[in-house]
Amino acid sequence: MEKQDDLFHSLEGKKVYFKALRIEDVQEIHDYASDQEVSRFIGWNLMSTLEESRQHIDIMLKRESAGTHLYASIVEKLTQAIIGTAMIFNFDQEANQAEIGYVLHKQHWGKGYGTEIVALMSDFAFESLNLHKLHAVVVHANIGSARILEKNRYELEGRLKDHYFIADKYYDALLFGKISNLET
């Protein structure tokens, strides 16, 4: 999947571009990975120390190297700062589908970055990976993330009641999906 890695790491939009995830960027990644508000609904453990963030990046790099995940740092063009992480994972070769995920520093919420990031990942997955379907799973309380998917024409396909238990509270999982319109 090395060629796909290179393509994923070179995606570019109007406000952001993707680059390869690197251990050297641990401080910038730690800035949002250690924020309780950011990590609350993303499925990552809160990173309390720089070393925990470094270990998490190492795990992500090993997964990408094994070909099971694609990860990219999201860079804001204006400042050249890393503002998040984009990922495509849970590849199902037989069904020709995968899951997408994204994490953004909270200073960049509500500014259209998420919508652009999901559009870049979706186009890449359908055009370069030739996937039939993408899906995303969102904690129902994460309204911003659900809106990003809806803006990218992902459809709400289902709801799993009390699927997540976060900070002593149950949350539903919302299942979103999008089927490629490139197939003939």
Count H helices and E strands in the chain, helices first: 6, 7
Q: Annotate 51-81 with b (16+ C-beta within 10 A) or e (fewer).
A: ebbbebbeebbeebeeeebbbbbbbbeeeee
> Using one digit for the tens of pLDDT, what is the confidence trace for 40-94?
777 677 788 999 999 999 999 999 999 999 999 999 999 999 999 999 999 999 9
Distance of alpha carbon 88 from alpha carbon 110, whole angstroms: 22
Put residue 6 in one of left, alpha, beta given phi > 0 → left and psi -120 to 50 → alpha. alpha
Tokens of 136: 């995303």
Tokens of 47: 């990173």
184 pLDDT tier (thresholds 50, 70, 90): very low
2 pLDDT tier (thresholds 50, 70, 90): low
- In eight-state DSSP terms, residue 24 is G
Residue 182 CB coordination number (10 Å):
11
Mean pLDDT calculated for residue range 151-162: 97
Distance of alpha carbon 138 from alpha carbon 148, whole angstroms: 11
Question: What pTM, to 2 d.p., does this model score?
Answer: 0.93
Longest dimension (CA), the chain: 49
Mean of the per-residue pLDDT values of the chain: 93
> Using one digit for the tens of pLDDT, what is the confidence trace for 18-45?
999 999 999 999 999 888 888 877 767 7
Beta bridge partners of 178: 134
Domains and CATH numbers, the chain: 2-132 (3.40.630.30)
What pLDDT score was predicted for residue 4? Answer: 74
138 pLDDT tier (thresholds 50, 70, 90): very high
Residue 132 CB coordination number (10 Å):
16
Question: Is 90 exceeded by the pLDDT of residue 140?
Answer: yes
